[in-house]
Structure 1
Amino acid sequence: HDVDGNNLSTADGHVTVITVATRQNETNARAVADQVPDRCLGDPKYRYVTLVNFQRKLARPFHALTQGIIRRRLDAEAKELKPRYDAKHLSRDPRKDVYVVADFDGSAVTELGLAPESNEVAVFVFSGAGKLVGHWIGIPGGDALAKAISQAETSS
Structure 2
Amino acid sequence: MIKRFLLVLTLILAAAPAFAVNPDEMLADPALEARARTLSAELRCMVCQNQSIDDSNADLARDLRLLVRERITDGDSDDEVLNYIVSRYGEFVLLKPRFSLRTLLLWGAPVLLILAGGASLIVFARRRAGKPTGSKLTAEEQARLEELLDPTQRL
Indicate the structure with greater helix content. 2
Structure with the greater alpha carbon radius of gyration: 2
Indicate the structure with greater strand content. 1
- RCO higher in 1 or 2 (8 Å CA, sep ≥ 6)? 1
Structures share fold, TM-score greater than 0.5: no
What TM-score bracket applies, with the shorter chain setting the length?
under 0.3
Report the TM-score, using the length of structure 2 for normalisation. 0.25
Report the TM-score, using the length of structure 1 for normalisation. 0.25
